[in-house]
Amino acid sequence: MRNFILYLFAALLFIGCKNEKKAATVTPDLLPLARTVALTDETFAIGDKVKIDIDAPEQDKQNLINLFKGTLPANSASEGNTMSLIVKEDVNGIASPEGYVINISKNNITIISKSGAGLFYGVQTMLQLIDEENNIPTGTISDEPQFAYRGMMLDVSRHFFGKEFVKKQIDAMAQFKLNRLHLHLTDAAGWRIEIKKYPRLTEFAAWRSPAIWKDWWFGDRKYVEEGSKGAYGGYYTQEDIKELVAYAAERYITIIPEIEMPAHSEEVLTAYPELSCTHEPYKQADFCIGNEKTYEFLENVLSEVIELFPSEYIHIGGDEAGKASWPHCPLCQKRMKEENLKNVNELQSYLIQRMEKFVNSKGRQIIGWDEILDGGLAPNATVMSWRGTEGGIAAVNSGHKAIMTPGGYCYLDSYQDAPHTQPMAFGPYMPLEKVYSYDPRAEIDSAKAHLIYGIQGNLWVEYIPTEELVEYMIYPRILAIAEIGWSNPANRDYAAFRERAIKATNDLRSKGYNAFDLANEFGQRKEAQAPVEHLAIGGNITYAESAPYSDSYKAGGDNALIDGVCGGWTYTDKKWQGFIKDGVDVTIDLGEEKDITEVTAQFMQMCIPDVWFPAEVIISTSCDGSKFNELARIEHTVVRDEGLSFKEYGWKGESKARYINYRAKCGPQRGWLFTDEIVVR
Ligand code: ACM
């Protein structure tokens, strides 16, 4: 008995010693974050050689071998460490075919998944675990995505980008577990895919002069013949498309082609004017929906497209149709009568439903932008929600799938940093933090949440003419989309994500991607970082009846201009108050007569969305509220410019006042005025 106690004591001592030497927990900088991570500082050493066994279908095996090339030392070592990658029907705790479990011991790494895609993602995770000494921490990772659809859209119409550049983006997408590349192949600015039956689409409708979209769009908008002097443009041949589709598939990325209809089709309707209502080139953006030739054309195009792209989905556009010619077109009117269609929305819906039937007959499904809800949604359609989230919510509430890509969070053509530090952009300030704050299931009834198919970041390229700028706008914001698409929202922590994104961005930059320099981000407008103190806070403000603020941009409502809260780099941040057409005319009551030395307000100008500086500001004061004296009148010649700018309109001096009237008048453009605070000191 005594001996037993001695042995027990020794054993406990031994266990205690082991515990003392227990390896420490390691938290790797994964992006996207994995679901469950339990790693230690004991390591698997890659060394010179690793024996890699892959038990997976042949194509998957080849894809994995390709992935290892250039990332790990040669395989087939006869001794040393081993790596086993295994496809199995059941993987404990994993539901998604894209999920995986990694077990890492000192001499072996095993990755198991239900599919080659899951093994591929397991390897991507493992590659992110390798440290500078070529070691990998031991332990386990169990991981699977939140959403089946994790996408990026690239507009190749407004400016054309060649297949090697697209492949480079596919490589980066794969690294961050994105799995859909949506190519916006057709639009007014150029048709970008060879269609054998309609050669004019690529001989003519794919070329223009000048090269820069805004010069062309705000110029004559003419197309030119392929090969003619100064012709800018291009297209993917069918062989290019096959190559791209295969390249993406080897990286478990599906390319989804978008063929726009019924709108955004000026290039088609100039090459084939008989498909528009007026049959005149250069006049129409929308197909004629009454004409049977439209269906013949679209079906022929889609037949070739479907042959080239194995994707389950074909995107048929559907956005922003002007529908202006349809009410006057005899064929459209005849169609409406015959089909008992009450309005032009139903006429558009007729086309979309007919195209859906055709696409379904080929074993595929359609996706459309959220306008396809107008006039009645096609029975099997998936909706891509871009004008906010309402379209996606309506789609899932009616039992359809939705892909969430709301402009305020997912449009990568907007400014990612302080506008004066950035190249000109189309959309307002949308830094990485804003993208990362998006939750695709927000506002969705939990019973419908499974219909949210996923998330997508979109890059429209009207103002992005070069490859360098494309990469600059994509990275790192697409990493936020990748993490939202893959990782558990309960683990969202922006500060920690930003650190991981800086690391990933540096890695991308070292690989030749022109990523935005996140580490040196300028950041939010300084006025918006903390409330300002001034004399008008706590006072009273009245708006002249003739100049109310807009319900769409009311900021803090009646007190917004004297609440101490200043706006950031965008008028969409709910801190800028918007006035449309009639300007600003407010009177502030300070409560009692006070000595004042300053009355100032900032305005912003961004001409693309019709936001302008005032042409005139008049500041007047009064002690009794009825007799006002003009303190300052500031005139400004409002001229169109590019980008976003800010301007202060104010008075400084010495005066006494209880009431301050601040009036800002629109210039000839008569668009929006935005101001955030009238500061009185
Ligand atoms: C879109 O941005 N027009 C879909």
pLDDT digits (tens, 9 = 90+) for 185-234: 999 999 999 999 999 999 999 999 999 999 999 999 999 999 999 999 99
Give the position, in ligand 1's atom list, of the atom nearest the Cα of 460: 2
Same domain assignment for residues 132 and 167: no
Say what the pLDDT of residue 7 is: 42
Say what the pLDDT of residue 18 is: 46
CB within 6 Å of ligand 1 — which residues? 319-320, 369, 386
Same domain assignment for residues 497 and 537: no
Q: Is the pLDDT of residue 16 over 60?
A: no
Same domain assignment for residues 279 and 360: yes
Q: Is the pLDDT of residue 20 over 80?
A: no
The domain that holds 586 is classified in CATH as 2.60.120.260
Same domain assignment for residues 323 and 288: yes
- The answer to whether 104 and 130 have CB atoms below 8 angstroms apart is no
The domain that holds 56 is classified in CATH as 3.30.379.10
Q: Is the pLDDT of residue 68 over 90?
A: no
Q: In what helix (H) or strand (E) does residue 124 lie, and over which residues does it extend?
A: helix 116-129
Same domain assignment for residues 132 and 163: no
Distance 406 CA to ligand 1 centre (A): 10
> Which backbone phi and psi does 483 adopt, to 5 degrees?
-70, -40
> Which percentage of the chain shows pLDDT scores above 90?
90
Burial of 85 (0-12, 13-18, 19+ CB in 10 A): buried
* Alpha carbon nearest to ligand 1 atom 2, residue: 386
Number of domain units in the chain: 3
The domain that holds 348 is classified in CATH as 3.20.20.80
* pLDDT band at residue 73 under the 50/70/90 scheme: low
Residue where one domain finishes, among candidates 480, 503, 520: 520
* Alpha carbon nearest to ligand 1 atom 1, residue: 319
Give the position, in ligand 1's atom list, of the atom nearest the Cα of 411: 2
List pLDDT tens digits, range 457-516: 999 999 999 999 999 999 999 999 999 999 999 999 999 999 999 999 999 999 999 999
- Verify cis geometry, omega within 30 degrees of 0, for the bond prior to 614: no
Sorted by sequence, the CB contacts under 8 Å of residue 254 that are 6+ apart come out as 179, 180, 181, 248, 310, 311, 312, 313
Which domain covers residue 133, as residue numbers?
A: 2-143
Same domain assignment for residues 470 and 613: no
pTM: 0.92
* pLDDT band at residue 14 under the 50/70/90 scheme: very low
Q: Is the pLDDT of residue 570 over 50?
A: yes
Length of the chain: 681
* Alpha carbon nearest to ligand 1 atom 3, residue: 319
Same domain assignment for residues 113 and 222: no
Q: Is the pLDDT of residue 103 over 70?
A: yes
Burial of 589 (0-12, 13-18, 19+ CB in 10 A): middle
Burial of 129 (0-12, 13-18, 19+ CB in 10 A): buried
- The DSSP bridge partners found for residue 586 are 543, 662
List pLDDT tens digits, range 379-395: 999 999 999 999 999 99
Same domain assignment for residues 13 and 70: yes
Q: Is the pLDDT of residue 72 over 80?
A: no
Say what the pLDDT of residue 74 is: 53
User: Ligand 1 test: best mutation among 185, 258, 316, 369, most atoms within 8 Å of CB?
Assistant: 369
- Minimum mean pLDDT among 42-46, 432-436, 588-592: which range? 42-46
Same domain assignment for residues 562 and 676: yes
Residue where one domain finishes, among candidates 467, 499, 520: 520
Same domain assignment for residues 496 and 619: no
Give the position, in ligand 1's atom list, of the atom nearest the Cα of 384: 4
Q: Is the pLDDT of residue 19 over 60?
A: no
Residues annotated as part of the active site: 187, 264, 320
Say what the pLDDT of residue 11 is: 38
The whole-chain average pLDDT of the chain stands at: 94
* pLDDT band at residue 8 under the 50/70/90 scheme: very low
Say what the pLDDT of residue 426 is: 87
Residue 277 backbone zone (phi > 0: left; psi -120 to 50: alpha; other: beta): alpha
Burial of 7 (0-12, 13-18, 19+ CB in 10 A): exposed
User: Ligand 1 test: best mutation among 460, 462, 463, most atoms within 8 Å of CB?
Assistant: 460
Same domain assignment for residues 465 and 563: no
Give the separation between CA 355 and CA 220, rounded to whole angstroms: 32
List pLDDT tens digits, range 358-386: 999 999 999 999 999 999 999 999 999 99
Same domain assignment for residues 92 and 176: no
- Other Cβ atoms less than 10 A from the Cβ of 351: the count is 25
Q: Is the pLDDT of residue 113 over 50?
A: yes
Residue where one domain finishes, among candidates 122, 143, 164: 143
List pLDDT tens digits, range 604-630: 999 988 999 999 999 999 999 999 999
Upper half-sphere CA count for residue 496 (Cβ side, 13 Å):
11
